[in-house]
Amino acid sequence: MSVLKLNVINLEKSEYTGGKSTLCPGCGHDQVSNVIIQAAWENGIPPEGIAKMSGIGCSSKTPAYFFGKSHGFNTVHGRMPSVTTGANMVNRSLSFIAVTGDGDTASIGIGQFVHAIRRNLDMVYIVENNGVYGLTKGQYSATVEKGSRKKKGEANAQPPIDLCAMAINLGCSFVARSFSGSKKQLTALVRAAMGHRGMAVIDVISPCVTFSNNDESYKSYNYVKANDEVLHLLDYIPHFTPMEEVDIPEGEYEDIEMFDGSTLRLETIGSDHDPSDAMSALKAIHQAERENSHVTGLLYYEAGLQTADEVLGLTEAPLSGLSEAEMRPSRQSLDDVNAALRAA
Amino acid sequence: MEHIYNDFTINIATANGTGSQSSNLILLNSMFQMGVPVSGKNLFPSNIAGLPTWFIIRASDDGYQAPGNKAHIQILMNKDSWRKDLEKLEPGTLVVYNEDVKLPIDRDDCPAFGMPMTKMARGINPKLARLMCNMYYVGGLAHLLGIDEDVINECVSNQFKGKEKAIEFNLRAIGEGRAYAAENWADESPYHVESRDKDPDTFLVEGNEAVALGAIYGGVNLLSWYPITPSSSMAESMIEWLPELREADDGGTTCAVIQAEDELAAAGMVVGAGWAGGRGMTCTSGPGISLMSEFIGLSYFAEVPGVIWDINRVGPSTGLPTRTQQGDLSMLYEASHGDTQHVVLIPGTVDECFEYGWKAFDYAERLQTVVFGFSDLDLGMNRWSTAGFEYPSTPMDRGKVIRTQKEMDAVANYGRYRDVDGDGIPYRTLPGSGLDPILYRGTGHDEDGIYSEDPDVYYATVSRLRRKIDGARDLLPAPLIREEEEQQIGVIYYGSMENSITEIDDMLESTGLSVSTCRVRALPYHSEVEGFIERHEKVIVLEINRDGQLYGILRKELPSNLLARLHSVAYTDGIPPRARVYADKILETLEVAA
């Protein structure tokens, strides 16, 4: 991608940046923040139309470090999906981009994660997954692999919860896994997720440099780098870029059209993976788990599922902008209500 | 024989899930349509079918709505509660019973009226006999009390609207019951109903439905809820009325309804809706409030509007899920960790349920905080009289929301949490507007919404919050005061105690006391409440809970020179307040205080 000064809506990238990070130097989460900034800028999303959402924890602090021109809500631990649901219902014109952690998603807020998927909430849900509770100084989370070891203390004895497998089983319409060190792959996935209508879950392995970046941790930088099975090479072609101008990669590829008309191009390497096949996706995940490796790329995709706001049959205009006349029924209608109750 | 008109209590003992609610409502509605001042209380178990349930109907020309202090007529249909129900009766109570239960009436001192109700019901439809037999006591009572036949017919038609077969069967059962009673029951009843001039505008409605309609007229944009007795019927009423009342020109709805995965999520959705500029609400009961507490604190501290209705049932814990209490008041007032204080609206009538249903949103958006509506099972799930709901008297108050750059320019020195106007209430902008965006947070923040742990900043923030909510007391509904000239005894009460207060007041005055009453309708309490206390020598705080929760709040906030006048009378057993019980406790307390 050539370096542009202005994006399609004539904004500089600085319009998408935020405050200075207070995370540990070298934290993978900051790389994810940079990818989010890059993706939104390249996609030309108006910053004021974005709502950035988060829960509690290191990951959930990051919305302070991107999209300084967007409203955001750093909510409570694990319960970001419900706040996003309420906000989405009253203003369906907003683009919801959420960042949470594995504590939020796989433990305290697992119920809200599950039900947001079940409702197909129209949002991008990025999990910055490091297998530890960072802000409380390094306890294991529920996504850490059995036998994985952090810098101090015992190895983890419990099996992990695989968020991608869970999301696929629940019928999530966009499920991907990536690595905070894989900037190109992650950028393409975040851009595609932003173009998707419905719930897009991206589980980003993002090593904790302070508590579990030792090589005995299966989520350390070196371990993931060495054990990352890439399903596809990804290229994202935005809807505003004519297809002819894009270099067609060599080898086999598959194009996936996003809701907004953009295209996610998957160049298949190694074994074929059809992202519309949930069983194949689950097989790839379980196979990788057995081999203590991580499979990355777009795991599962299904277009055209009804989103939460569509299911409810809301009026077209955002409810937050309705006038009193549109929200309060007429005086005559109350007379009719009273009459109906009298006759009941 | 002495004849008593419109002054008696009927206790109907049946089993849950046998359709007796239809029979009871037909009785209640028939008497109401005749203009008899009547109230009904459903004492039901936490069970779908099988456990004992009682329905209490009280007729009272004095307008007393409390459950009567004793039963004058006892209906016995349920073998499981039969013996106990009989034992409790005072001599002279009329007993109407189903002979087919085959249990003895071993009370010589009570006139008994038997009818083979199940056998007769089998004659109409053997499969439905278990349900239909309940219509026979309606017929029997209609005969004993003199309930107008045409009125009953109309009530049956309304009850089973559109189901012709059901109307036919039930009318036949009632008719047979009436005929059997006329033929076989030798004794006369001293109790009778007598038609009164009924205001044609009045009807009976549940408090929950009144709140639901009020919220719809208050412009609710999001209802998120998780089923819990006794609040579910509020959400279900909204679901029923919304299509008719809140459809936009394009055919879409202007209110989203989501049955949430739990109460935490229900509250989170309300916060999300308020943050994005919509009017969100949820309804629940005490256990739900416990779960929502985390979000209640977020709403308070991040200053996000939202409305939560608590329909109180008996706590603590799962408690008595189908019984009534005022046990959640102090929890609501200070819900969530840290120092908090919340607005609580406390309706005492179905008209106020409707009114606070819409007003709650105005207060929430004006004050940018969570506002509670506080009702209970008695007010929420029983039927009360109204002459019709009144259209909102004021336009919607959307509060201090800056929607355009021009409005922003007009606010000098804007900061999301800066007290520009000196009333403790800051201005806010909405997501999507691009106007001075911030990252909302439940963590410490300065006047611009930036994260801060600075001691002075923290203290200034929580002090302003205190000023904002505490300072709003006189914006909220004023108490309803009925004051005697001789200012001897004052009784402060709230909520559904309204239905018992007239009778309690009459009982107290019959002992020669002069009693004024003051119904508190919101927290933080209005300054007129303090004035009322100042004017009375002794003030009773009367509540349906164990610990005297409003009493505790008053003791904490009143000037210390007034505290010696306050006396708590608090009692709860799950049953709506019987006047005699509370009047006696007030008299005892006054005696001790004398």
For range A62-84, the mean pLDDT: 98
A311 vs A103: CA distance, rounded Å: 30
Distance CA B400, CA B422 (A): 13
Lowest mean pLDDT among A231-240, B17-26, B545-554: A231-240
CA angle B508, B513, B519 (to 5 degrees): 60
Selecting from B254, B392, B396 the residue whose C-beta is nearest the C-beta of A315 gives: B254
Q: Does the pLDDT at position A244 exceed 60?
A: no
User: Which CATH architecture does the domain made up of B4-192 adopt?
Assistant: 3-Layer(aba) Sandwich (3.40)
Instruction: Supply the pLDDT for residue B1.
Output: 80
Residues of B with Cβ-Cβ distance to A49 under 8 angstroms = 432
pLDDT higher than threshold 90 for residue A101: yes
- For residue B173 the two structure tokens come to 């059962």
Buried b (16+ CB within 10 A) or exposed e, A317-332: bbbbbbeeebbbbeee
The pLDDT, as a whole number, for residue B547 is: 98
Over its C-alpha atoms, chain B yields an Rg (Å, rounded) of 26
Give the nearest partner residue to A315 out of B245, B252, B396, using CB atoms.
Answer: B252
Q: Is the separation of the CB atoms in B139 and B177 below 8 Å?
A: yes
Tokens of A78: 């694990």
Minimum CA–CA partner of B224 in chain A:
A86
- What is the CATH class of B205-386? alpha beta
Q: Out of B245, B255, B434, whose CB is closest to A69?
A: B434
Q: For the domain bounded by B480-593, which CATH number is listed?
A: 3.40.50.920
Asked if A76 lies within 8 A of B222 by C-beta distance, the reply is no
User: Domain limits of chain B?
Assistant: 4-192, 205-386, 401-473, 480-593
The mean per-residue pLDDT over the stretch B98-114 comes to 96
The overall average pLDDT reported for chain A is 92
**Considering the entire predicted model, what is its pTM?**
0.96
Over 90: is that where the pLDDT of A251 sits? no
List the single range of B164-178, B186-200, B465-479, B518-532 with lowest mean pLDDT.
Answer: B186-200
Report the residue of A11, A54, A71, A108 to disrupt the B interface, i.e. the one with the largest count of B CBs within 10 Å: A71
Distance from the first to the final alpha carbon of chain B: 43
What distance in Å separates the CA atoms of residue B113 and residue B180, rounded to the nearest whole number? 11
Q: Do A338 and B219 touch (CB under 8 A)?
A: no
Nearest CA to CA, how far is A55 from chain B (Å)? 10
Chains A, B: CB contacts within 8 A come to 224
Q: In this predicted model, what pLDDT tens digit does every residue of B542-559 receive, in sequence order?
A: 999 999 999 999 999 999
Rounded Cα–Cα distance for residues B132 and B156 (Å): 13
- Average pLDDT on A170-176 reads 97
* Residue in chain A nearest B29 by alpha carbon: A344
User: What are the distances in angstroms from CA A325 to CA A228, A331, B127?
Assistant: 57, 11, 52
Please give the domain boundaries of chain A with CATH numbers for all domains.
22-311 (3.40.50.970)
Report CB contact under 8 Å: B432, A337.
Answer: no
Tell me, yes or no, if the two domains B205-386 and B480-593 fold the same way: yes
Closest CA of chain A from B56, distance in Å: 21
CA distances from residue A278 to A164, A281, A285, A300, B92 in whole angstroms, order as listed: 11, 5, 11, 6, 75
Shortest Cα–Cα distance, A208 to chain B (Å): 23
Residues of chain A positioned with their CB less than 8 A from the CB of B273 = 86-87, 89-90
> A247 pLDDT band (50/70/90 cuts)?
low
